[in-house]
Amino acid sequence: MNIEPDYNTGISKLNYFIENNLKNYSRDRNYDFGPDSRNNTSLLSPYISHRSLFEYDVVKKCLEKYEFDQIEKFIQEIFWRVYWKGWLELRPEVWTDFCESYQSIEQSKFYQKAVEGNTGIRCFDEWVLELKENNYLHNHTRMWFASIWIFSLKLPWQLGAAFFMEHLYDGDPASNTLSWRWVAGIQTKGKHYLARSSNISKFTNQRFQYTQLTTDAEPIFEDKNYELKRLDHKNSETKCENLIIFDSNLNAQELSDLSERYKNIFFVLIDNYSRKIKLSHRVMSFKASLIKNISELISNAKIINFEELENLLSKNPKIDVIYPFVGENLDILNKLSVKLKSQLNFKYKNQDLYSWQFSNKGFFNFKKNILNIINKFNLGHE
């Protein structure tokens, strides 16, 4: 399985998928044939999660080839990431609580067996190895994995979500955290996901059979309701000469245009020392290489570390920042800005600001508005 931290590789994968596999995506998407047979999936998520492939551009390119109703399922899957981001923007305390609880939970010996792939549940143990070696798991497998982790192994969902973040190339605070909450039964209260042996057998093409799993378990209970935050995000023009960009928003086309408006563009990759959730060496290397690859497309770009970011903010009382979304990057940036009394002028995508208003409820409500988003930004056929 080839996932290279290269902007052009992402574009090539998108083009190949549209021409060869998109048409049958809805029919084949739920099957996990193993890491050496991924033609039924796009393998675009590592690029989309970093936005080297911009979700809305991906949708537009797909709709240039097919009508919406022919590829509706794939379009929905692309918009799930937009929806999750919006949902978390409206409820940022969910992320804060997840981080705090994760840091307070003891990592037991049984947890160590799980992350080393020594549970005795064959499919799960093989998926642990696959995750570490490929930094990717099929979406259906992620659901089975999380269900086994929570309900069969009875491990805290927060540790599982952090384990995925540690190893997934496409891990991001919104889709990863909220997907684990959904499996546990706390994202949609009382509705959890229980993996079944027959389902695993069918959709792995009989690779894993007769798996002994917990089939009767109550959803995880969380005695907390999160109130909706009012989104006051808006763009404002400034005369800042410097722009900061994090690994979560690497829209190469947009950055190429912005380079003419700024004297300096600074790419930032936060190291593990400053992170609450540590990332594997392979994931950090992927991010670093992707940033380097995209920064080389921009003449006035420079890559800086945490210490250089702190120094930059200390010397700039006001600075523009491509909004990095709720998560580690935003936490660290906000903490530094308070410490250094630096004013951050966030730059948002108009597409996000429009789409996130539909993230106030469940995905069904968002799904009803996908065509509105497509029409608003001319993503479909003329």
| Residue 353 reports pLDDT greater than 90 | yes
Q: How confident is the model at residue 253 (pLDDT cuts 50, 70, 90)?
A: confident
Sequence-separated (6 or more) residues with CB below 8 Å from residue 86: 352, 355, 356, 357, 358, 359, 366
Q: Give the Cα separation of 257 and 347 in Å (integer).
A: 14
pLDDT for res 335: 94
pLDDT in tens, 289-309: 999 999 998 889 999 999 999
pLDDT for res 60: 96
pLDDT for res 4: 85
Of 36, 38, 32, the C-alpha closest to 16 is 38
User: Distance between alpha carbon 138 and the CA centroid of its chain, in Å?
Assistant: 14
153-169: average pLDDT: 97
Sequence-separated (6 or more) residues with CB below 8 Å from residue 199: 144
Single-letter residue type at 326: V
- 322 phi and psi, to 5 degrees? -65, 120
86-103: average pLDDT: 96
Based on the number of CB atoms within 10 Å of its own CB, is 230 exposed (0-12), middle (13-18) or buried (19 or more)?
A: exposed
Please name the helix (run of DSSP H) or strand (run of DSSP E) that holds residue 100, with its range, or none.
helix 93-104
- For the chain, how far is it from start to end, CA to CA, in angstroms? 36
pLDDT for res 380: 79
pLDDT for res 190: 85
74-86: average pLDDT: 96
Q: On the CB side of 71, how many CA atoms lie within 13 Å of its CA?
A: 25
Handedness of CA 244, 270, 325, 287 (dihedral sign): positive
What structural domains and CATH numbers belong to the chain?
Answer: 7-86+355-376 (1.25.40.80), 119-203 (1.10.579.10), 242-347 (3.40.50.620)
Q: How confident is the model at residue 233 (pLDDT cuts 50, 70, 90)?
A: confident
224-253: average pLDDT: 86
Handedness of CA 42, 127, 193, 211 (dihedral sign): positive
| Residue 71 reports pLDDT greater than 80 | yes
Helix axes 173-184, 157-167, angle to 10 degrees: 150
CB of 348 closer than 8 Å to CB of 354 = no
Q: Give the Cα separation of 164 and 141 in Å (integer).
A: 12
| Residue 315 reports pLDDT greater than 80 | yes
Q: Give the Cα separation of 51 and 42 in Å (integer).
A: 15
| Residue 229 reports pLDDT greater than 60 | yes
Sequence-separated (6 or more) residues with CB below 8 Å from residue 123: 144, 148, 200, 204, 207, 208, 211
Q: Which residue do the tokens 């093989």 mark? A: 126
Q: Which residue do the tokens 């190895």 mark? A: 129
Q: Give the Cα separation of 107 and 105 in Å (integer).
A: 6
Q: How confident is the model at residue 381 (pLDDT cuts 50, 70, 90)?
A: low
Mean pLDDT for the chain overall: 93
Q: Determine which of 166-170, 204-208, 255-259, 334-338 has the lowest per-residue pLDDT on average.
A: 255-259
Q: How many CB atoms lie within 10 A of CB 60?
A: 15
Q: How confident is the model at residue 45 (pLDDT cuts 50, 70, 90)?
A: very high
| Residue 382 reports pLDDT greater than 60 | no
- Residue 372 three-state SS: helix
Q: What percent of the chain has pLDDT over 70?
A: 99
| Residue 280 reports pLDDT greater than 70 | yes
Q: How confident is the model at residue 270 (pLDDT cuts 50, 70, 90)?
A: very high
Bridge partner list, 267: 245, 303
CB of 342 closer than 8 Å to CB of 331 = no
CB of 219 closer than 8 Å to CB of 191 = yes
pLDDT in tens, 164-211: 999 999 999 999 999 999 999 999 888 999 999 999 999 999 999 888
pLDDT for res 43: 93
Pick the more confident residue, 373 or 2: 373
What are the tokens at 280?
């594997």
Q: What is the pTM of this model?
A: 0.96
Bridge partner list, 243: 265, 320
Q: How many CB atoms lie within 10 A of CB 209?
A: 13
* Cα diameter, the chain: 64
